[in-house]
A and B are shown apart, each in its own frame.
Chain A
Amino acid sequence: MIPGGMTRRRSVAWMVGGLLGLMLAFGVHVAFGTVPIDPLRVVKALAQMPDSRADYDIVWNLRTPRALVVLGAGAMLGLAGALLQAITRNPLAEPGLMGVSGGAVLAIVVAIVAQSKLDGLGIVRDTGLALGLVGIAGGMAAGTLTYVLSWRQGSDPALLVLIGVLVAGGTAALASMVLLVADENQVRLVLHWMIGSANGRVWAHWHMMWPLGLAGLALGLGCAGLANALQLGDPVAAGLGVSVERTRLLLLFVAAVLTSGAVSVVGAIGFVGLMGPHLARQMVGTDARRLFPFSVLVSAGLLLLADIAARLFPLGWLAGLTGLALPGRSGMPMGVATPLLGAPFFLYLLLRRRRQA
């Protein structure tokens, strides 16, 4: 698709439609949950005039922060995916496939278990800005490792993804090792990150997420012009006066901050950063100034829908079938839902690219 081929009016229409869709998804996310509450009472609770204490706790203290956290994580992962795809000029790049998520999860898992062992008495904590920073350090380290190992007179796009798969596998094996030395409380908490879930995310988590998210999103969206230049190829970008290596490093840093910020709150959510930018590209084309904001919208919406689907997934029939005592009402974590959608999508992309080639 030609970047300039999209009229301004049409992309504005998409943008408005995307915003409306996102607000709708947010509304549905807050309105529906495992405890049915009718819409009027939800609205009253949101307006700080609840019918009962329970309504207020469920709607304002549980569902609202959870929806915000999911929205933020989706937005951050979406922009990170779009950035990585622009840097690598590889439409298959994704925070999870680059090893960045894996590195962030490993760092967080180690930090949580180590902190808990230092504190003693079985205390396990999972909030605080420090945890986000630890995640960023881990994500950056793994991302850099992937990048360096795939360097071959310039980074090789196919190699980047393959090495990313290996780095992700290595970090996952190390994280599993940490699980083996953890006690049961720690395992329960750490699994949250290894699987990826929004269960039990409350205001404290939102407060830990939004500063990083805001900074990362602003920085990333501001870099859209630079990303456009990079997409033209290194020689052209250099000809335009862009310092190629420095720009690439800056964008990579922003992508790692966004990824780690999201991962440190909701854990390793795969494939959202792949699917969101792809769908966005179908709608508004490849111009980063339109693609980046739209990727943010689409990915946030996708993750909200994935969380709704995962939360409402009926475990009842499974319990009936197997006679297991299942963790009934909390539903499935969304980290299970996104690969089930995303991996087939990835396969489809591979096979389609193959046909075009």
Chain B
Amino acid sequence: MRRFVSWAAAVLGLAAVVLVLALGLGVLPIPGARLAGVLFGAGDSTFALVLWQLRLPRFVAGLMAGAALGAAGCLLQAALRNDLADPGLLGVSSGASLVIACVVVMNLPVPPGLLPALAMAGGLLAGLVILAASRAVRDPVQMILIGAALASLFGALILFVIVLGTGLQIQIVYAYLIGTLAGRGWADVLRMAPWLGGSLVVAAALVRPLGLLQLGDEVAEGLGLRVVRTRMLAMVVAIALTAPVVATCGPIGFVALVAPHLARAALRTGAIAQVLPLSAAIGALLLATADLAARWVVMPAELPVGLVATAIGAPAAVLLLRRHARMAASA
């Protein structure tokens, strides 16, 4: 528990540093000493506008999306007892993206508030296949291959939709498919908030059953746990956490894979009650930092945050895969 408290404090502290940098850096730099003054009305109103309407909501959106992904990854890994599970690698994000690509290309008259729900429907489609396969397939590596097949199936359908589009729409869809936080504002934050809040409440209730599940299906069943129902519920919550992120920022990869691993390594335990919140916090910190880098590296232009996440996350995933193969070989 003391490890948890000290790590949580460390993550919060780092997040505060990133907050100051994210608010201060940009085409219009604001020195740290003046930040507080500008935030609370003193000085130039242009600065206040940039801070309150552009940089702060974008930072908050990044934190929320990262937290949702970190929690979703942790839930998926616990539910499937597969430490390689990740909404991107399992095809869930692709399913959700397909729906959004349809909406963009076909100009469907969908109110933005409904987008997360639609994305969730697409994600659930992939989740159902994964859930069905999880009864037959125990091997984590096989599971990821099934996810890769699902992702390429949805990828083909996304291409199908893209072919129907015009030049500009195609560029929008591709930019979206990399994942970006550019131009995300308070409206997006408000749209994601209820989904996150609701999902996290259910996730808190799932902590105990998921802990039992880690003992193995048979033991958990012997202790009176409804295994299939728990697994299904955890996956639905994970998808409900992923869907609003995909709907607002695109399928940002690898955060959900890496955050739980970092949390487990920091805590030196797999106890869900501690890993879940720390994983969410680390996910938030990772994505906010990645977005800061994405804005800063090629200033005054910027990179999509999804590219930065991939640049950091893909090598991390390679390391995880190699470690997994090594442990599987020695087991």
A contacts, CB < 8 Å to B: 92, 96-97, 149, 152, 156, 158-159, 161-163, 165-166, 169-170, 173-174, 176-177, 179-180, 184, 187-188, 191, 195, 270-271, 315, 318, 322, 324, 326-327, 332-333, 335-336, 338-340, 342-344, 346-347, 350-351, 354-355
Contact = CB atoms under 8 A, between A and B. Distances in A.
Interface in B134-190: 136-137, 139, 141-142, 144-146, 148-150, 152-153, 155-157, 159-160, 162-164, 167-168, 170-171, 174-175, 177-178
A270 B174 contact: no
Contact of B145 (A96, A152, A170, A350): A350
A156 B136 CA distance: 23
Contacts of B314: 166, 169-170
Interface centre among B139, B148, B177, B326 (most CB of A within 10 A): B148
Given A162-B141, A187-B171, A324 B106 contact: yes
Interface of B: 89, 106-107, 133, 136-137, 139, 141-142, 144-146, 148-150, 152-153, 155-157, 159-160, 162-164, 167-168, 170-171, 174-175, 177-178, 253, 303-304, 306-307, 310, 314, 317-318, 321-322, 325-326, 329
Q: Is the interface of A mostly helix, strand, loop or mixed?
A: helix
B178 A177 contact: yes
Given A187-B171, A339-B153, 5 more contacts: A162-B141, A166-B321, A332-B163, A343-B150, A355-B136
A306 to B, nearest CB: 12
B39 to A, nearest CB: 33
Interface centre among A149, A162, A184, A322 (most CB of B within 10 A): A162
A51 B273 CA distance: 79
A191 to B, nearest CB: 7
Given A152-B325, A180-B175, A344-B153, A332 B160 contact: yes
Nearest to A176: B174
B159 A195 contact: yes
Contacts of B89: 165
A96 to B, nearest CB: 8
Contacts of A271: 152
A176 B178 contact: yes
**5 shortest interchain CB distances as A-B pairs:** A339-B156, A343-B153, A184-B167, A346-B149, A176-B174
Nearest to A96: B152
A165 B171 contact: no
A273 B61 CA distance: 42
A347 B146 contact: yes
5 contacts: A159-B322, A176-B175, A271-B152, A318-B164, A336-B160
A173 B304 CA distance: 10
B142 A177 contact: no
Contacts of B142: 350, 354
Contacts of A180: 171, 174-175, 304
B303 to A, nearest CB: 8
A336 B159 contact: yes
B137 A354 contact: yes
Given A187-B167, A350-B146, A335 B159 contact: yes
A170 B145 CA distance: 17
Contact of A149 (B167, B174, B310, B318): B318
A169 B304 contact: no
B253 to A, nearest CB: 7
Given A339-B156, A346-B149, A169 B253 contact: yes
Contacts of A344: 149, 153
B185 to A, nearest CB: 21
Contacts of B159: 195, 333, 335-336
A169 B310 contact: yes
A351 B137 contact: yes
A179 B178 CA distance: 11
A337 to B, nearest CB: 8
A271 B155 CA distance: 13
Nearest to A195: B159
B105 to A, nearest CB: 8
Contact of A162 (B178, B306, B321): B321
A159 B178 contact: no
A131 to B, nearest CB: 22
Contacts of A195: 159, 162-163
Contacts of A335: 156, 159
Given A195-B159, A324-B106, A332-B160, A158 B167 contact: no
A162 B145 contact: yes
Contacts of B139: 354
A325 B98 CA distance: 20
A348 to B, nearest CB: 9
B150 A191 contact: no
A54 B175 CA distance: 41
A270 B152 CA distance: 9
Nearest to A335: B159
A163 B163 contact: no
A253 B200 CA distance: 50
Contacts of B145: 92, 158, 161-162, 165, 346, 350
A354 B155 CA distance: 25
Contact of B325 (A97, A156, A174, A318): A156
Nearest to B143: A350
Contacts of B167: 184, 187-188
Nearest to B178: A176
B136 A173 contact: no
B106 A173 contact: no
